[in-house]
């Protein structure tokens, strides 16, 4: 593999997915060389993006690309909204995050020259169901499955801090773009004119445009920030207001609510999560000087669905 000087390289674990594709494009535009660690690396046609095969668990030759890089970004983990959270599914969700982060940090510990910064994904699920309370990075963790998982996930990542690397736990909200993630799953009923809020629609939704998430990660690579950072837009919305905004962007009605009991029957514990929500603020991102391109839901959805 023909690599440029390592100080200009960013390694992205789990970078072939919905967030990783946008991040890779932003990094390339900013002049970085990008190396993906991916189970699908051998099949990925990513143009100027280089790939290294990694199973998410084992050590191997992929570790050599970590030495002296500008940053390592960890996005590895199984998709969380894939069916009911059965015990078997919970184990897949947990193991894919904890084991991959542990293996990545072990690889970092073996690097002759440690990367300057390690950014590891987490989620706003860290806070648990929040009701109407405004939450920031100083708020305590919740006690449900996702909150406990996020706390354990962040603990694994923070081992890198002891190795002398600036370490960031990126608590990501609902990431919006039309070609993947939660929004892609919502589009079908809305396009048929059958969209609407989930349950009462009063629950808060902390979201971020995918373009802003990539921009925030770029900003954090260059900043001096460490510790938890909420990756959410400055203006959370209720699920009802989000549904109305999506209807406006698609020029479709948005008045068909999905009853809460239907969600709970269909999705079990994850359905309860969709009905509770969180009102999370990006306090540290704003304090660090990041300026959101899409701070409000109408500007984000208008840009996403612009012809």
Q: pLDDT tens for residues 209-219?
A: 999 999 999 99
Q: Given pLDDT bands bounded at 50, 70 and 90, which one contains residue 41? A: low
Select the more confidently predicted residue: 84 or 36: 36
Select the more confidently predicted residue: 13 or 256: 13
pLDDT, residue 2, reads 43
Q: Given pLDDT bands bounded at 50, 70 and 90, which one contains residue 257? A: confident
* Angstrom distance (rounded) from CA 100 to CA 54: 10
pLDDT, residue 271, reads 72
- Indicate if the alpha-carbon torsion angle 273, 197, 78, 174 is positive or negative: negative
> Given a cut of 50, is residue 78 above it in pLDDT?
yes
pLDDT, residue 208, reads 98
Q: Which of 70-74, 246-250, 269-273 has the lowest mean pLDDT?
A: 269-273
> Given a cut of 80, is residue 262 above it in pLDDT?
no
> Given a cut of 60, is residue 5 above it in pLDDT?
no
Q: Which domains does the chain have, with CATH numbers?
A: 6-178+207-234+281-293 (3.40.50.720)
Percent of the chain past pLDDT 70, that is, above it, reads 93
State the average pLDDT over residues 119-130.
95
> Given a cut of 90, is residue 156 above it in pLDDT?
yes
Percent of the chain past pLDDT 90, that is, above it, reads 68
State the average pLDDT over residues 261-266.
67
pLDDT, residue 82, reads 77
pLDDT, residue 225, reads 96
pLDDT, residue 7, reads 61
pLDDT, residue 104, reads 95
State the average pLDDT over residues 49-54.
89
């Amino acid at each position: 593999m023909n690599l440029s000087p390592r100080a200009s390289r960013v390694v992205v674990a789990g970078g072939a997915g919905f967030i990783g594709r946008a991040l890779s494009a932003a990094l390339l535009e900013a002049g970085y060389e990008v190396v993906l660690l991916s189970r699908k690396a051998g099949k990925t046609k990513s143009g100027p993006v280089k790939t290294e095969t990694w199973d998410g668990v084992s050590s191997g030759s992929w570790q050599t690309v970590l030495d002296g890089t500008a940053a390592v970004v960890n996005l590895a983990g199984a998709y969380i909204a894939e069916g009911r959270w059965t015990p078997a599914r919970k184990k897949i969700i947990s193991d894919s995050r904890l084991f991959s982060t542990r293996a990545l940090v072990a690889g970092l510990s073996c690097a002759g020259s440690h990367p300057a910064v390690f950014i590891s994904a987490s989620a706003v699920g860290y806070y648990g169901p929040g009701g109407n309370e405004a939450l920031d990075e100083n708020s305590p963790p919740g006690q449900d499955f996702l909150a406990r998982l996020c706390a354990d996930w962040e603990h694994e990542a923070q081992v890198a801090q002891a190795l002398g690397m600036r370490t960031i736990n990126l608590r990501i909200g609902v990431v919006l773009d039309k070609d993947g993630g939660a929004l892609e799953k919502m589009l079908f009923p809305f396009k048929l004119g059958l969209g609407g809020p989930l349950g009462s629609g009063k629950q808060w939704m902390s979201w971020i445009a995918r373009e802003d998430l990539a921009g925030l990660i770029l900003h954090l690579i260059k900043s001096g920030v460490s510790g938890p950072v909420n990756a959410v837009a400055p203006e959370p919305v209720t699920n009802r207001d989000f549904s109305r905004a999506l209807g406006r962007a698609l020029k479709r009605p948005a008045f068909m609510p999905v009853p809460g009991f239907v969600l709970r029957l269909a999705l079990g514990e994850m359905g309860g999560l969709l009905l509770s929500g969180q009102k999370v603020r990006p306090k540290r991102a704003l304090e660090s000087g990041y300026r959101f391109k899409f701070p409000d839901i109408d500007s984000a959805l208008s840009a996403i669905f612009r012809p």
